[in-house]
Structure 1
Amino acid sequence: MFRLLSLTLAAFAIGISEFVLVGLLPAIAADVHADLGTAGLLVTVYALAITVFSPLLTSWLSRYDSRAMLAGLMALFALGNLAVAVSPNLTGLMLGRAAAGAAHGTVFALGAPVAASLVPKDKAGRAIALMFLGLTVAMVIGVPAGTAIGTAIGWRATFTLVAALGLAAALTLWAVLPSASGERGVLLREQLALLAYRPLALTYVVTALGFGATFAVFTYLEPLLTRHAGYTAPAVTWILVLFGAATVAGNLVGGRLTDRRGAVLTIRTALTGLIVSLVALLATQGHSAAIAVNIAVWGVFAFLISPAVQTHAVALASVHGPGAEKAASGLNIAAFNAGIATASFAGGLVLDHGDPARTPWVAIALALAALVATTGIAARHAPRQDANASGRGAGASLR
């Protein structure tokens, strides 16, 4: 159990690093003399680093000892966050975020198989879920706590703490995980070949647009709440707790609904609910109580889609030979973060030419495009049942 918890600790540190910027962005922008839209590029750069470097690093590092690689990646993650904490300008912040992001995706790509190998085969899904639990806990507890620390004593203290957590995870992984020789990884060209299958490629489009849509607004939620809903900076922390709890509920409900009603129906349900909640956000953003309820509903639908798209991608890839499911899962993680990068960048452009009250329009457009794309994601074959099972195990735990 302690070996699995070492992976959970790594995921917890990573989760805080990815999402804590939401509550700290105005303070960071003021400190490095940048406007909010430009500072929002820190979210974009992080997500792009995951998208671009994770497939490359996974293909390269999977052939080596997984314990050494995971410990090394978490050390890189710690250094990246330390660079963020001490950097005096936006360029240094972006370089630090890029380093941390490159480590992020590869830790999950390499760590999930390690988690599964630590338990009997019939418990592999639960082992992977325990690792990904770190992200969920980070969203509910770590991000609000990091925001509170940043508000009280400075945002640099938050990233110093994240760097310390990353280093602790690196040392723990090295100390408790068994040494394991690497296996032949999926080559990069084999990963890219999956994109030639139209339903799978469109599933990644749905993942990027549908999941990413939320971050056109969420990245700039703090100024939206303080400028329009009358919240103080400390009160925003509690809204982040509320949103985090809602995402946990959405993730769990999405997994169950996928099992019972199928992935495609769940994806369309999630996107429809997301669009409705984003449209409602245009009306509730000036009312403190109404927007809190709206944000809770939004959080449920925003993460309802996660297990469904992950399950569907793995199931579609199951007929493409050995290693295809693992590659499809990794590409879907890249699609999640490509969506975050695109949406946060688009939201920043809107913010540069207006105010955060307009960011929901960007999210609505992206979610509508994702809903249209679902018309092409239905399988042209009947995937193997074991593929569906493995997809549910991974998907229900992914965020």
Structure 2
Amino acid sequence: MQQTAYDQQCKAEEHRHTTATTAIRHRGHTLFALALGTFAIGTGEFGSNGIIQLFSSSLGVSLPVATYAITAYAFGVVIGSPAITLLAARVNRRSLLLGLMALFLAGNLLSALAPNIVLLAVFRFITGSVQGAYFGAGAVVAGYVYGPGKGGKAFATVMGGLTIATIAGAPLGTYIGQTAGWRATYWTVVALGVLAALALFAWVPRTDDLRGGSVARELGALRRPAVWLMVGVAALGISSIFAVYTFIGPFVTDAAGQDASLIPIALTVFGVGMTVGNYLGGRVADRFESRGIVCGYAGVLVLLVLIGLFGSNVALLLPALFGVGATMMFAIPTVQVRLTGFAPDAPTLMGALNLAALNLANSLGAIGGAFTLDAGWGTLSTVWAGFVLTSAGLILYTVAISQVSRAAASIPVTE
């Protein structure tokens, strides 16, 4: 009897070892599938910004009312993603990713069919609720195939699909919307989502190593002050990227006096910077505790000053836009590694909170920029709003870092 149990245990261990070895061997396929999913998600998110005037006109609402659909998506990320992560705490991460892609497909399909702005906003909320949960679960799977000590690189790989979407996916979605109607943009996102779902089904390993945990353990992470401090550091610090990205169009045409045809090029330059920064930031995050955040935030502050003072010169503006995208994305993988370090028992939820913080940053940056513009301080004044917010994030991080680390260390991990 004992020998039989021992043999079964040996077989189980051998099977687990074989599965892990196979996962590592097919690492490239798995990582591609995860990034394809975030590319589809990013295309839907950023592509919506490019067609807002189209569905505003089609649905017979003003532009401010049409922005409710964009805001609803952000609320989906901030509220819906953590909720889904908690509800699906026990679900295997592979199954969770497939379920999330199914919900993503449903949300975009319904968005393509929405008859009015109210339902479109509801469907965008549903779609947004996928994003943070997908990034959290995707980072866990990427970390599994990379192996221990590569959390930053894993998160950067998953985030890579989103940054590439700013270069290729969003312009493509906008072009399709302009030529075939705004609904065609969402049908295109559905097609990308189907491809991503098939890739995930084929290439994400089936293994108990990706099983979920208890809801209590996930909730326990939310009781740690260190976690919320890091969310605050992310939401404040990263907001400057959106105080710039949101207003690139006016920067190019109003401040620099260039033709509107340069706006797509400026957006692409910014997206390339994000992609480069994300790649480098993932490697730094695994080697240094704080360098990614401190260097990223400090670097973007310098660039914001340059844009604020000399952004009317397009020869300086374009390289500075690249730099803002690169330096800020350089920090984000370190935010994820630090969050996961403060709550190692809830990595999926930490990924969802990181994305929620990014969407809060989106709102803060846009609101701060709108405030300076309404005050009549000029087109480039939005960067000063970003400067104040990122400075606050950097101060919070440098002042609270020792207290945060002690708080995290003093709270035992819940089994």
TM range (shorter): 0.7 to 0.9
Name the CA shift for 1:41/1:229 in 2 (closer, same or farther; >3 Å): farther
Q: Which amino acid aligns with 1:364?
A: F
After TM superposition, give the deviation of residue 207 of structure 1 in Å.
0.6
TM-score normalised according to structure 1 size: 0.79
**Matched residue, 1:359:** 382
Partner of 2:134: 107
Describe the shift of the 1:115–1:139 C-alpha distance in structure 2 as closer, same or farther (beyond 3 A): same
Counterparts in 2 of 1:333 and 1:127: CA distance versus 1, 3 Å = closer
Which residue of structure 2 lines up, in the alignment, with residue 372 of structure 1?
A: 395
What is the distance in 2 between the residues matched to 1:377 and 1:158?
A: 43
The count of corresponding residues between Structure 1 and Structure 2 is 377
1:1-399 to structure 2, matched below 5 A, reads 1=26, 2-29=29-56, 31-32=58-59, 39-64=66-91, 66-117=93-144, 119=145, 121=147, 130-174=157-201, 177=204, 183-187=211-215, 190-258=217-285, 262-318=288-344, 323-347=345-369, 357-374=380-397, 375-378=399-402, 379-381=404-406
Residues 352-361 or 203-212, more deviating: 352-361
- Does the C-alpha gap of structure 1 residues 120 and 294 become closer, same or farther in structure 2, counting only changes over 3 Å? closer
| Contact kept in structure 2, 1:36 and 1:352, CA below 8 Å | no
| Cα distance per residue 1:204-237 (max 9 Å; x no partner) | 1111111133213323433443344344454322
Residue in 2 that maps onto 1:395: none
CA distance in structure 2 between the aligned counterparts of 1:82 and 1:227, rounded to whole angstroms: 37
Task: Tell whether the 8 Å contact from 1:213 to 1:343 is kept in structure 2 after alignment.
Answer: yes
Q: Distance in 2 between matches of 1:124 and 1:304?
A: 16
Query: In 2 relative to 1, CA 193–216 (structure 1 residues): closer, same or farther, beyond 3 Å?
Result: farther
Q: Deviation digits for residues 154-210 of structure 1, max 9, x if unmatched?
A: 4443232112211332344345545567844342x6445445444442221111111
Q: CA deviation at 1:151?
A: 4.4
Q: 1:328 to 1:83 in 2, by over 3 A?
A: closer
Higher relative contact order (CA 8 A, sep 6+): 1
Report if aligned partners of 2:133, 2:351 keep a CA contact under 8 Å in 1: no
Deviation, structure 1 residue 383: 8.6
Q: CA deviation at 1:57?
A: 0.9
- Contact kept, 8 Å, 2:37 with 2:196, in 1: the verdict is yes
Question: 3-state DSSP class of the match of 1:293?
Answer: helix
Whole-angstrom CA distance in 2 between matches of 1:40 and 1:285: 27
Q: Give, as a single letter, the amino acid of the residue that structure 1 aligns with 2:101.
A: M
CA distance in 2, matches of 1:225, 1:89: 33
Residue 10 of structure 1: how far off its partner (Å): 1.2
1:340 deviation in Å?
2.2
Q: Distance in 2 between matches of 1:120 and 1:13?
A: 23
Counterpart of 2:15 in structure 1 is none
Give the residue type in structure 1 aligned to 2:320.
N
- Pairwise CA RMSD of aligned residues? 3.5
Between the aligned partners of 2:60 and 2:247, the Cα distance in structure 1 is 17
Tell me if the contact between 1:277 and 1:298 (Cα under 8 Å) persists in the aligned partners.
Answer: yes
Q: How far does the alpha carbon of each residue in 1:88-124 deviate from its partner, in whole angstroms, 9 at most, with x for none?
A: 543233222211111122222223334455x474697
Larger radius of gyration: 2
Q: For 1:286, what is the secondary structure of its paired residue?
A: coil
User: For 1:272-317, what per-residue CA distance to the aligned partner results, in whole angstroms no more than 9, with x for missing partners?
Assistant: 2222322332334433333212211211222121122222222333
* Contact kept in structure 1, 2:368 and 2:386, CA below 8 Å: no
Checking the alignment, whether the CA contact within 8 Å between 1:24 and 1:155 is kept in structure 2 is yes
What secondary structure, in the 3-state scheme, does the structure 2 residue paired with 1:280 have?
helix
Which AA in structure 1 matches 2:333? P
TM-score by length of 2: 0.76
**How far apart in 2 are the matches of 1:270 and 1:114?**
26
Q: Distance in 2 between matches of 1:64 and 1:24?
A: 36
- The separation in 1 between residues aligned to 2:294 and 2:65, in whole angstroms, is 33
Whether the aligned pair in 2 keeps the contact of 1:216 and 1:362 (CA below 8 Å) is yes
Q: Is the 8 A contact 1:191 1:328 kept in 2?
A: no
Distance (whole Å) between structure 2 residues aligned to residue 337 and residue 67 of structure 1: 25
Task: Determine if contact 2:86/2:219 at 8 Å carries over to the other structure.
Answer: no
Retained in 1: the 8 A contact 2:82–2:133? yes
AA matched with 1:343? G
Q: Are the structure 2 counterparts of residues 284 and 40 from structure 1 closer, same or farther at C-alpha, using a change threshold of 3 Å?
A: farther
For residues 353 and 93 of structure 1, the distance between their equivalents in structure 2, rounded to whole angstroms, comes to: 32
CA distance in 2, matches of 1:73, 1:325: 17
Question: What is the CA–CA distance in structure 2 between the aligned matches of 1:38 and 1:377, rounded to whole Å?
Answer: 41
CA contact (8 A) 1:281 1:294 kept: yes
CA distance in 1, matches of 2:107, 2:173: 17
Q: Distance in 1 between matches of 2:160 and 2:390?
A: 26
User: Would the alpha carbon gap of residues 291 and 86 (structure 1) be closer, same or farther in structure 2, given more than 3 Å must change?
Assistant: farther
Whether the 8 Å contact between 2:136 and 2:352 is mirrored in structure 1 is: yes
Q: Distance in 2 between matches of 1:113 and 1:61?
A: 14
